[in-house]
Structure formats: C-alpha cells, structure tokens
A and B are shown apart, each in its own frame.
Chain A
Amino acid sequence: MEHIRTTKVEQVKLLDRFSTSNKSLTGTLYLTATHLLFIDSHQKETWILHHHIALVEKLALTTSGCPLVIQCKNFRTVHFIVPRERDCHDIYNSLLQLSKQAKYEDLYAFSYNPKQNDSERLRGWQLVDLAEEYKRMGVPNSNWQLSDANRDYKAAICRCSQPLSGFSARCLEDEHLLQAISKANPANRYMYVMDTRPRLNAMANRAAGKGYENEDNYSNIRFQFVGIENIHVMRSSLQKLLEVNGTKGLSVSDFYSGLENAGWLRHIKAVMDAAIFLAKAIMVENASVLVHCSDGWDRTSQVCSLGSLLLDPYYRTIRGFMVLIEKDWISFGHKYSERCGHLDGDPKEVSPVFTQFLECVWHLTEQFPQAFEFNEAFLLQIHEHIHSCQFGNFIGNCQKEREELKLKEKTYSLWPFLLDDQEKYVNPLYSSTSQKPAVLEPNTVAFHFKFWRNMYHQFDRTLHPRQSVFNIIMNMNEQNKQLQKDVKDLESQIKQHKNKQTDGVLTKELLNSVRPESPALKTSLCLKEQTLLPVNDALRTIEGSNPADNRYSEYADEFSKAEPAVVSSEYGVARMTC
C-alpha cells in the first residue's frame, strides 16, 4: 500500500499505561494494510486495527527514543517508544493516513474475507430480518399499517424528528397523523409526545424555525420534555471521563471528583430515566408515545430502544437484541459512520450515543442479573465492531446510503459471526421463566450507577478482577451437562452389560472398561480430593501477577532492590479484532 513506508521496526518499547516507574515490554512493531501489530519478547501479540485508531500523537523525542501514543475508539491506549525518530515518523504518517479513510470503499469491510461463498453471506444478512420482526410484533394489524408497536400492548412507541414549527407554524396533516396514532390505540384517548431534549434547547430551536408541538394545536396529546443533552455535550463528557481515567497515579478523590465533573453518569441516568418514563406510559397508562429529539436518530433511538428492552423480554435475548439494534438504530438511520467517525469527516459529528445505549443496557444487566440472555462480553464485542468497519452492519448513515453502497453484496453481516460464537456471550444465570413481571422496572437512584470499568478500561487488565465468575459458572454448567450425559451413558452401558451377563454381576474389569470412555468423569474423579474444577491456566497466571503491577506505593523504590527482571504478566485475554 502506498501509505506504508516501514513495515517492521525492532526494539520498540510498549510502556505500561499506569506504571509510574516506566515499566515496559520490548518487542517488534509490524505495520500491515489493516493492522498495527506488536509482538513482545514473550510472543504476546497486541493487534490494533487501523479503523480503531482515534488519535495518534508523536511526542517530543526522549533519550530512549521517540514516543508514539495511540488512542483507540475501543478505549485502548498504547504508548510506544520507537528507537529511531525516522521510523517513528514513518509509522506516525502511515497511521494518520490509514486510520482516516476518505471513501467507504476503502473500509476494511470491503476487503474482509472470512472465506464464505455468496449464498452463505446472503444467508448471514437474512438472519436478522425486520419484516419478520414486525410480524412478530403483530403489525400491520387493523389499527396499524406501518411504524412500530409493542406486542403485548395496544399502546405503541412511535418516533419522529422535531416539528418545523418555529413560533407559530402548523401542519394540519401532521396534526391529523398524531390524532390517527392516538385513535389507533383503543385503550387510551390521549397520547404522550416526549421531547427528549432539555426544554431550553427545544425553545432555542424555535428561533430556527424548528421546535416542538404546541399542545393547543394537537388534540389529546400530553407533551413532556425529558432533558437528555445533545451529541456535543456527550462527546465532551466522554472526553473528560477518559482524561480522568488516563491519569497516572489517580487518587480515589480525583477519580470521584473527575467522575462528577465529567457528568457522564448523570447523562446515563437521564437516558435511563427517559426510557423508564416511556415504558411506564405504555405499561401503566396504556398510552401511545411519540418520541422525538431534534433529528430523531440519536436520543430518540436511545430512548425507543431502551424502552423496548424494558417492555419486551424478547429484546433481552441474544437474537432479540440484534433485531433491536437493526430496528431502532440501523434502519431508523442512526448515523453510525458519522457518530463513529468511520471516514475522515467532521469531528463535531462524532459522539458516543450508541456507547451510551450499551452502557445503559449494562446497567440493566447489573440490576437484573437474570433477565438478559447475553453477558457483558456481548456488549463489548458489539461496541468493538461499531468502530471496526469489519462488517457491513454499521457502515453508512442511513438505509438509503447503505443500499447505494450495496453492503449486502460486498460485505458480511456481524450477527452470524456472533451467533456462531454464542457460548461466549451467554449469561449463565439467564432465566427466561423467572421474569415474572416481564417489564423491567429499574431503580435509578444515584447509588445504582457505577463506572463501567470493563468498558473504559477493557484493555487495562491490571485494573480488572483477577478471576471471572462468569467463566467459572460457565465451566460448571458445562461440566454439569457433561456429567449428566456421562451418567446416562454409563447407566445404559450397565444395562446392556447386565442383559448380556446372565448372572448380572458386574465385575471389576467391566467397570474399568467403562471408565476411560468418559473424560469428564476422569477429571472429576481425580480432582475430587483437591479441587472440583479444572482452573484454567490463564486464571492462575493472573493471580500470580507481579505485585509491582499495582502501584501500592511510591515506596516501591524504597525496597531499594531492582524489580524482578522477568515479569510474568500474562493477562490471558489478548483480544484480536480479526
């Protein structure tokens, strides 16, 4: 590729992001057409997809070399030191070019080839089908022709953009449409119109000939502002959050005051509160709700999709969640390419709207540990791919653009790949039956909102719990199933042998002949004295991690001896994007 001048640089150092003692790993950096790859001396690989790069910075030259800092959209931050400035400069320039493409056709998805033929690809795209989804919801029915409704209720969630009302403009057809929506719901005479913006913003919009519905002009509507801030506020809020997190030697106090100043959790709570308002209007009052913001593709998508998630257990399944994203986000024109900055474009259009949605879902999974079929890894993986441009799902800004790009012919859909890997994303505690009230009623007191460490520090393994409950429960579940199967197999074998042996006495040899056929049984027997579970090596290694990874004190140097030479920080999970 014409942008790549240097493909390989040796003796590059990768600094530990949080270490105050400039701890580092030495290795080789490779630059490919799609990835930046670092292989350290322990052969551990770090892959960085060019599309994930949000920011590359070349810092001032130091005695040990030229520092290169790369910040990624999936919240990975790496700090390299390249020995020669010339190499650093080449890589820096190449990355600048490679991370910002001018044309859709240059995105990874158009060259990514998972070795599937055309029909497999097509089937992948048909896996999540919206027409099917509307049928499932029970529309069109006699009341509804098109739009969006909820299966269990006659009330409906509708969405639109702000009216172009200015200070006095009216539109009779629009008033009639709303009246029709209201009438389509036989259970309630009035409907809600939710404006997800703060009141002030909506008023300001009136000066530009836009605005909000006048209750006097529309019969039977109840108007409500819910106060979610706009994309610019959200972008700078996340920026502040990441600045706080990236601080070396962060104190507890700085962390919490930083969290407060960033306002991030306040925004998350606002989105959640709006969704709850929506769900309550539908469930308690049986009223239809029309949701809009300014354009109708950011806050509206957040609120409608979260509302649906609260109301309908189907969307809490793995497949249902995919449908929800296709329906409320992709097909309704959330501008993924602009919001995620897929192409070299206006940085003011970039905003973590979808990330916020995923975070709200995560908060729900924390409050309702049994209500979701999927786990945190699923949310993280989806987040990974809205930025990766590896699959066609999130490319483009609206349905029209997506069709023009012929994405279904030229790229692959993410969903079949996630479904193939389903066992990684299953919540072992999920119980579809235990959800007595099918509608979730989350509590949004401030106590319940927590910083989502596993998202914003997903690559900073030193900050994570050292053992995973999910892994162990999954293992247990797997073993339980295997053991149950073994029991059945053994019982049937015993029966067979009994039938063969007329005296019906089972000899020792016979038992021995049975035993080796069951690997799970073998492990469970030999593990019985000590442990019941095979603890996977990755877990163990993490526990044995070096205490020097943790900044217990500035006194670490007081133990004047140098740090142990070999650092066995094998953190198990090296996530790859391809």
Chain B
Amino acid sequence: MEFSELIRTGQAQAELLRGPEMPPLRGTLCVTGHHLLLSPGPQATPDLWLLLLRSVDSIEKRVAGDAGTITLRCKDLRVLQLDIEGVEATLDIARSIEALSSLESVITSFPFFYRPKGLRLGEAWHFHPPERYYKRIARETRAWRLSEANEDFSLCPSYPRAVIVPRAVDDDALARSARFRQGGRFPVLSYYHAPRGTVLLRSSQPLTGRQKLRCAEDEELLRAVLAEARPGARGFIVDTRSAQAAKQARMTGGGTEAKAAYPGWKRLHRPLERGRPLQESFVRLMEACGDPEQSMDRWLSRLDGCRWLSHVKEALSTACLAAQGMEWEGACILVHGAEGTDSTLLVTSLAQLILDPLSRTMAGFQELIEREWIQAGHPFQLRCAHSAFSHTRPKHEAPIFLLFLDCVWQLGRQFPLSLEFGEGMLLALFDHSYASPFGTFLCNSEKERCLCEVRTRTHSLWSGLNQPKEQRKLRNPLYVPNPLAIWPSVEPQSLRLWQGLFLRWTHPPEPSEVAWEKVWQIATDQKTEGSQPTDSASEPQP
C-alpha cells in the first residue's frame, strides 16, 4: 500500500490554534504519510510544527464561505483547531487525515520509519525482563526456576518466551496447567517479596466451566508455591471480579478455583471495573473537563458521576490488599480476573511499587512496565486504539494503563520523595502508549512483536527517554531512596483528580513550571554543593 494513495491534497494555507496557553501559528499545512506539518512563513518563527497522525483520536470538519475549519482531538487529550483556506482543500485534508490516522497495519506505522539522530537501532531492547528479574530473585531463593516452555509461544500466546515458575513443577505440568487456564495464562511469578519470602503470582481464570472441571497439575502448581514459601504458608487468590461475575463465568467455560481443590488458598473477590465501563468513565471525565463554564455544583456532580476516582480508589486499595497480604500476613497472593491481561496487571504492578523500593527507581520502573505490562501481554494495540474523544463505538478500548499511571501519580503525591521519576515520566508514558514514534508499545503481545520484528526494526522508547536531555523533564528532583513499603491512604479526601493529565492542555495545574524550575534549582544546588567542599579542599594539593 502506498501512503500517497490516501493523501488527497499536498498542502494548503492554514492557521493553527493550540489552546489558550500558546500563540496561533500560520503557515503552509502539509499531509505526509505519518505526519501533519505546518511550516510557518519566513516572517514567523522558523520552527516546524509536527503532529503524528496516529495521535489523532477524532476529527471534525466545518466549512463556511471559502474557508474551512478542522478540529483535531488528539489521543493525548489535546484539542487543535486548523483554519484552512479553501473548501476543497479542507475536505481533502480532513479525508486524508481520517484515512491515515486509522491505518491498522503495524509494520507500516511510523516507528518502522523513525530514525532519530543519536540513537542506534536495537539499543535498550536488551532488557529481557523475565531473565533479568530471575537473576535478581535467584540470589534470594532457590525455589523458583526460569522456564522456557513457552519458547515458541505454543503454551501461551500472550506470555513471553521465558517465565518464572516453581522449581518443583516441570514443563509438562505447565503445559497442562496452561490448557486449564484461559488463553493459556498459567500461574507465573510476578514478584518475589524477599523480606518475607512471599510471592505474588498472576494468571487468568481457570476453565472450570459448568462441569466444575479440575486440573491436577494446576492444583499441584499452587500447592508447590505454598510448600516452597514456608511450611503451613497460606495463600490468597485475589479475584478482580465480583463473586457473582466469577460464578457466571462458569457458563462460558471460565470460573474460579474451587476451595476443596486448592487447600491453603482462600479466595477474595475485589471487583475492579474494566472494559467498556472504564472507557466510558474516561470519556465522561473528559467531557466534564472540557467545560470551563460549568458551575461548581455541576463540576462536582460530573466528577462524581464519571466514577473515575472511584476506580482509582478501588485499584489502589486492591493493590494494597495484595501487598498487605504479603507483607503483614506472610501469605502468597495469586491475582487474576478473567483474561488476566488487564486489571490483574494493574494490581500486581501497583503492589510491587508499594512494596519494592527498586521498582520506584527510574530504571526499576521501566523494568516494571516492560515486565508487568508489555511482556506480560497487556494488549496495548487494542486497548489504546482510541482515547477519550473517538466517535466510533469502543470495541476493545479501555484506559487500564492510564488508570495504572493515575494510581502511580497518587502514590507520588502521597510520597513525593519516594519515586525517582516525576509526573513528566507518567505523562510521557501515557502519550507514548497511545501514539508513539517508538516501538515499545506496539502490538498486543511478545509473540506479535516477534512476528513484526519490532525489536530490530524500531527504536525502544527507553533509549529515547534515557537520553540525558530528557532527564530533567522525567525525574523527580526530590527523590531520596526509601527502603520501606509505601502505604498510601485511599480515603476519598486523600485522592485527587490528576489535573496535570486531564486538564494538561486547558487548565494546567500548579505548581507552575516556574515553581518547578525553582525546586529543581534548589535540589541541584544541593547536589552540586554537596560535592563542592571536597573539591575546593583538595584543590591546592599538588
């Protein structure tokens, strides 16, 4: 397919309005295969304005007289307005943008063409999280092993090639357990909590069905987990569905672990919203955020009505529950819902941030996302196909990763010194998960990424973000390593709307950038001066 077939018109004169914070831009508008460009006239600023077409969420066009207006709502929640000279040009450009922004083919997407200066292909793809993570825990315990039973993705298409499983369970047993779990997602290790020797596991629902089927290997696997942890250790299965929903799942072949079949394990139901209701919550929140004229009462009632903060609270409190089980009860925790690719990952990744100081560092957080989201098979391509503005009826879209980022932001607000990364990092991850020049968030699973050769043909987001020039935006200047678990308050009075994201383009929150700059200044003064006295003292030495 040639992009040129989809481009109706090369260029037009246009004016771009970018919201209250930025001045309008006039110049020549141009549609290319992957971008919308605006090249200002010679008198204006020399900067070229560029928009990745993939980041367009919805497009509206209006024509009046001999001019037209296109409103672009972007996946990063920005709203742009283009005033274009000429009715034909307007319609052509709108059609071109519509066609190009909704292309589904992965291998013709921009990451396969993006070749930035200063980065080398293949860089930072060297993370092999399961292997790397296994090395870390192998120093603490011998009870687990790295299995390559899924080398060819035959056991589970949404798992990576290597997973961490109990040493006592062999690959054949894994294969049988995989057949007993939806999508082949048998229980694997997500996090080893060294201070208490307890573990966090994740999986999908067991396929018990109406007949209440059982699987000896699956039962053996979970039995082995408890046996390895400590004699008499207890386990809790955190099911992210309501008891009723879990029961109903039996009608369609799913279900839950029967009490009698898994001695020592106890089931807890913590229903978390997912799928369409979550997407609708996001859409309604953005509708409320788009109306600055509304009264105080209307705003509070819409904020309540969209239920977004309730979802934040539920996600955080479920993660805290899982963490509490490991840290205070010395219990092993298995988390799953139905598919085990959405709310399950939300809970396991948040629980790690709460318990594990390493995951709160810049490198550790990247590793966490790579291991617990990307390699763990969160279907980014399906979930992030559209953001809050799309007119098309949502199919598989759900802002579950955004919900995760919001929860991390809440943690960061309550523990402002304990995360090495700042709000900028979370915003960048949100933007890139929906549309990115990098390949990291492409596809739905490791298997798909291998087929598309994402690792060799695109750049890794991590190599982009880890460039020195990006650091000031992404890091938290106040970071101080904190070896303890961070237990957030989940009371409604302690949670706050993430203005920096939801109102980023319309009503940017305080502290303003200037104030933030001042914090940086104080913090860096601190760090450079911390070493200064030594320098000046040693200076006169021969």
| A residues apposed to B, CB below 8 Å | 18, 245, 250-257, 259-260, 263, 265-266, 269, 366-370, 428-429, 431, 434, 443, 445-451, 453, 457, 462-469, 472-473, 476-477, 479-480, 483-484, 486-487, 490-491, 494, 498, 504-506, 511, 514-515, 518, 521, 524-525, 527-528, 530-533, 535, 539-540, 543-553, 555-556, 558-559, 561, 564
Contact = CB atoms under 8 A, between A and B. Distances in A.
Nearest to B267: A558
A559 B486 contact: no
A473 B529 contact: no
Given A252-B310, A473-B519, A487-B533, A370 B491 contact: no
B522 A467 contact: no
Contacts of A548: 324, 328
B489 A550 contact: yes
B392 interface: no
Contact of A462 (B299, B489, B512): B489
16 contacts: A250-B491, A257-B304, A260-B304, A368-B512, A463-B494, A467-B414, A473-B478, A476-B523, A490-B533, A527-B530, A532-B526, A549-B487, A550-B490, A551-B490, A555-B268, A559-B324
B522 A543 contact: no
B406 to A, nearest CB: 13
A469 B478 contact: yes
Interface string B291-326: 011111111110110010110010001101101110
A451 B493 contact: yes
Contact of B518 (A254, A265, A429, A479): A429
A491 B492 CA distance: 54
B342 interface: no
A487 to B, nearest CB: 6
A307 to B, nearest CB: 21
B510 interface: yes
Nearest to B538: A511
A12 to B, nearest CB: 26
A472 B492 contact: no
Nearest to B530: A524
Contacts of B176: none
Nearest to A486: B533
Interface string B409-445: 0000111111000000000000000000000000000
B494 A547 contact: no
Contacts of B292: 445-447
Given A446-B294, A533-B480, A370 B514 contact: yes
B298 to A, nearest CB: 7
A431 B540 contact: no
A370 B143 CA distance: 54
Interface of B: 236, 266, 268, 270, 289, 292-301, 303-304, 307, 309-310, 313, 317-318, 320-321, 323-325, 327-329, 331, 413-418, 478, 480-482, 484-497, 499, 503, 507, 510-512, 514-515, 518-519, 522-523, 525-527, 529-534, 536-538, 540-542
Contacts of A564: 328
Contacts of B289: 447
A515 to B, nearest CB: 8
A18 B491 contact: yes
A161 to B, nearest CB: 28
B304 A253 contact: yes
Given A550-B489, A550-B490, A553-B270, A367 B510 contact: yes
Contacts of B299: 446-447
Contact of A533 (B310, B485, B497, B526): B526
A366 B320 contact: no
Given A251-B492, A266-B297, A446-B296, A545 B321 contact: no
B518 A518 contact: no
Contacts of B542: 505
B531 A487 contact: no
Contact of B494 (A450, A453, A487): A453
A531 B534 CA distance: 17
Nearest to B507: A447
Given A480-B526, A506-B540, A558 B268 contact: yes
Nearest to B503: A447
A464 to B, nearest CB: 7
Given A250-B491, A480-B522, A555-B321, A467 B529 contact: no
Given A535-B480, A543-B482, 11 more contacts: A251-B310, A370-B514, A429-B519, A450-B496, A466-B415, A467-B416, A469-B519, A472-B478, A521-B533, A543-B415, A543-B484
A491 B538 CA distance: 11
6 smallest A-B Cβ distances: which pairs?
A256-B304, A255-B492, A446-B299, A260-B300, A369-B511, A369-B515
Contact of B313 (A252, A445, A465, A467): A252
B510 A467 contact: no
A250 to B, nearest CB: 6
A553 B297 contact: no
Contacts of B527: 532
Given A370-B515, A559-B331, A252 B531 contact: no
A543 B489 CA distance: 11
Given A443-B507, A467-B415, A514-B537, A544 B484 contact: yes
A448 B507 contact: yes
Contacts of B413: 465
A549 B486 CA distance: 13
Contacts of B270: 553, 555
Given A253-B310, A447-B499, A266 B491 contact: no
Contacts of A505: 540-542
A250 B537 CA distance: 58
Nearest to A545: B487
Contacts of A473: 478, 519, 522
Contacts of B268: 555, 558
Contacts of B414: 465-467
A494 B292 CA distance: 62
Contact of B533 (A263, A518, A540): A518
A469 B323 CA distance: 26
Nearest to A523: B530
Contact of B320 (A367, A515, A527, A547): A547
Contacts of B325: 559
Nearest to B540: A506
Given A462-B489, A490-B536, A552-B324, A532 B518 contact: no
B526 A465 contact: no
A539 B480 CA distance: 12
B301 A257 contact: yes
Contact of B536 (A368, A491, A525): A491
B529 A480 contact: yes
Contacts of A434: 514
Given A255-B492, A504-B540, A472 B301 contact: no
Contacts of A511: 537-538
Nearest to A564: B328
Contacts of B266: 558
B533 A552 contact: no
A265 B304 CA distance: 15
Contacts of B491: 18, 250, 462-463, 550-551
Contacts of B300: 256-257, 259-260, 265, 446
A556 B490 CA distance: 14
A498 B525 contact: no
B417 A467 contact: yes
Contacts of B482: 535, 540, 543
Given A429-B515, A477-B522, A494-B537, A463 B489 contact: yes
A540 to B, nearest CB: 7
A472 B487 contact: no
A483 B533 contact: yes
A168 to B, nearest CB: 36
A424 to B, nearest CB: 18
Contacts of B493: 245, 250, 255, 451, 453, 457, 463
Nearest to B541: A506
A514 B540 CA distance: 14
